[in-house]
Structure 1
């Protein structure tokens, strides 16, 4: 499976004066946290390979928080996100430290790896703080973490945005309400695969499912859209709204 598309159009990274939230520790991980701390509804955002410091991801976190959710964006890579301009550490080498086993196609917990384990710790910490319902959205790499959470009662709603490595078997096992937002031009999750997801979800009336393919955009567009491209911005904003609508519908 080609990984090059995932590494195109990298985001702007900065931890200085970005977002209205703060960086704190939760569940043993550093995280960007935003929104009302006394909220009973929380949203976990799981980043792509570029990590939790991306400006547009934090901007989106603030947007979600403005709807009344307590939003957590953990640093699942422990300060070591993928850096595309490092020729000595291409994506294949980076993945050896962050998710080689995680991307195993066997859907047993022992093969999922640290990303899923860390996510459970964050979810547990949120529960201990009095949060009653949790939604999770995953972008590319993060979608695999979220789909694994959605196979049990860890979360009450899931959204996958231009997912990577999510399989038909994963979708078959999902129990939480799930929305899949994909791109027309995506080598990692092409429309043909997403249509298979849709067929599976249609055959599972006990799980509220939705699959939507956005025309004219590429993998990663929801958090790596070009500000100067009005059509791409509009499409990203539509996906953001769809994500928020899903959480508003299922988090109560």
Structure 2
């Protein structure tokens, strides 16, 4: 393990369940989904062009279901907003053992359709959550085949105000679906890279009104001054070999936020290791990061609500 750590974690590490069987409904949504037959098998859960249509409320909990295996997950594509301000998003809803809690997941620059992002969102939903992943780039994410020389030009087209408004719209949709239904007291928010920076802005604006906890994976272009306005605990996860997310900055933000916030640093790990592991060693640390994240969310959003 490459965990450096900062403060001791107030919860035990447990092995996360692996998706081993997908429902027929989910297979219809994702015809190219693989089946996991081993707890050690990593699977790809996403097919780009598969879309499910919805015509009713997404929040419907199933009762009387008890299964130690990974909960089945339904995935549906949504259109949020109105008129020219509408945008696509994707909702992963736990079918079994749904805890009624909504999680907003803000993607990295590769967007909401990226397989690594959706794999991660699926696994979070497997633990009982309802995970909404909005298209922060309105159909124009950064592509891996683009020249890095064009990155700043591309980024300049992602108007901060428009991105912030889409996040607000996504939050309001979750409030209507989950909080108004009386089955979730607070929402959670996860951000990767670009999304991590936007997570800081979102929590600073929200000030604890709707979000009860945040988790930032190696956030980029973060504004440390905004941490003075964040009113909920925030968990930072990063590698110490990541020039885009200096550990010193995270430590300072942790202290300024307080409220039980933590920084977890993985030794030798680069940017993106937790949701884009590129070696067996990174994969092992990615698993540990996922367990830490899962227990952090559970402690803040489910245990505290009972």
TM more than 0.5: yes
2:262 counterpart residue number: 210
1:22 counterpart residue number: 76
2:199 counterpart residue number: 146
- Bigger strand fraction: 1
Shift of 1:39: 5.3
Which entry has the higher C-alpha Rg, 1 or 2? 2
Contiguous gaps of at least 5 residues in structure 1: 1-12, 103-112
Give the whole-Å Cα distance in 1 for the aligned partners of 2:140 and 2:94.
28
SS at structure 2 position matched to 1:199: helix
Q: Given the alignment, which residue of 208, 214, 221 partners 1:158?
A: 214
Shift of 1:84: 3.2
The superposition leaves residues 162-206 of structure 1 with CA deviations (integer Å, 9 ceiling, x where unpaired) of 0101132122221122101111111121122222223324xx3xx
SS at structure 2 position matched to 1:98: coil
Please identify, of 122-131 and 32-41, the stretch whose mean Cα deviation from structure 2 is larger: 32-41
Give the whole-Å Cα distance in 1 for the aligned partners of 2:200 and 2:74.
28
Shift of 1:14: 5.5
Between the two proteins, the alignment pairs up a number of residues equal to 222
The superposition leaves residues 132-174 of structure 1 with CA deviations (integer Å, 9 ceiling, x where unpaired) of 2210100011012211222222311101000101132122221
1:134 counterpart residue number: 187
1:191 counterpart residue number: 247
Contiguous gaps of at least 5 residues in structure 2: 1-45, 52-72
TM-score normalised per structure 1 = 0.80
SS at structure 1 position matched to 2:139: coil
The superposition leaves residues 54-107 of structure 1 with CA deviations (integer Å, 9 ceiling, x where unpaired) of 1121111111111111111111111110113234971111011114xx3xxxxx
Q: Which runs of 4+ in 1 moved over 6 A?
A: none
RMSD over aligned Cα, in angstroms? Answer: 2.3
TM-score normalised per structure 2 = 0.67
2:136 counterpart residue number: 76
Give the whole-Å Cα distance in 1 for the aligned partners of 2:130 and 2:136.
18
SS at structure 1 position matched to 2:156: helix
The superposition leaves residues 36-58 of structure 1 with CA deviations (integer Å, 9 ceiling, x where unpaired) of 37753111110010101111211
Taking structure 1 as reference, are residues 48 and 215 closer, same or farther at Cα in structure 2, changes over 3 Å only? same
- Which residues in structure 2 correspond to 1:49-198 (within 5 Å)? 49-87=109-147, 90-99=150-159, 102=160, 113-131=161-179, 132=184, 133-151=186-204, 152=207, 153-198=209-254
